[in-house]
Chains A and B, each alone.
Chain A
Amino acid sequence: MGRYFHSEVHIQSPWHQVLAAFWQRYPNPYSGHVLTEDVLYREVTPSNHLLSRRLLTKTNRLPGWAERVFPAHLSRAVYVLEDSIVDPDTNTLTTKTWNLNHNTLMTVVERCLFEEDRSRPSWTRLRREAWICSAVYGLARPIQVMIRRVIVPLIRRSRRSRSTTNQEV
């Protein structure tokens, strides 16, 4: 079972400011569920792209029915990898984020593209896509409901956290 989401938002900050905020976005008022953040890899390629990998750990918040079904997952944090490519020549940042564990319950992959809005250079366009997959048979419907109730508000909250961080940087 899989679901696909996509959205486009316009951030009222120039691209270089959004980028600076991107590296400094944790902690922020909307990120209480993010426990740790670490850079594991960085490289500037011969074509002047900056490649990075960050590891985040997040609290594992499950609804009541999931806690009863998946007790082994309760005490373990969620490990999330975020890989990114900054291209300063085209003013784009591409990111891919996905969870490393709890995949038997759900895998969430998010891809984001931040690019300078060519028609309004003091704005940045953000295109997001998310793929949510669950291999758990018989739980497709409750998981879909959980997606709507938990994941979608998380995506909205992450949007607000970006907005807050952009204002602070």
Chain B
Amino acid sequence: MNSVGEACTDLKREYDQCFNRWFAEKFLKGDRSGDPCTETFRRYQRCVQKAIKEKDIPVDGVDFMGPNKDKPEKPGSS
């Protein structure tokens, strides 16, 4: 699947592979030894957040789990 930032697709796929492995082999098995994908995610986010700003996609300030429902916490910016 492609990223919204054309230049970010390779970084996205690298992060997705790392996450999917961690999710199935660690997180779901109760292993809380930490997230090995932090650096990969950071590189990916630097690229995709730039693309989001350039395309003027309105993601800023949107409450987590949508307005007026469930959890009110707002995710931090990456």
Contact = CB atoms under 8 A, between A and B. Distances in A.
B41 A42 contact: yes
Interface residues of B, number: 37
Number of chain A interface residues as a range:
35 or more
Given A38-B12, A85-B65, A55 B19 contact: no
Interface in A16-72: 16, 19-20, 23-24, 26-27, 34-44, 48, 50-51, 53, 55, 57
23 contacts: A16-B28, A20-B20, A23-B20, A24-B16, A24-B20, A38-B12, A38-B48, A39-B16, A39-B19, A39-B41, A40-B52, A41-B76, A43-B76, A48-B32, A53-B75, A55-B4, A81-B59, A83-B64, A85-B71, A96-B65, A96-B66, A100-B58, A101-B58
Contacts of B49: 40
Q: Which 6 A-B pairs have the closest CB atoms?
A: A41-B75, A36-B4, A26-B1, A37-B1, A96-B66, A96-B65
B64 A53 contact: yes
Contact of A51 (B15, B27, B64): B64
Interface string B52-69: 100001110010111001
A40 B59 contact: yes
Contacts of A42: 19, 41
A16 B64 CA distance: 24
Contacts of B71: 85
B78 A41 contact: yes
B70 interface: yes
Given A23-B20, A23-B23, A96 B69 contact: yes
Nearest to B34: A44
B27 A50 contact: yes
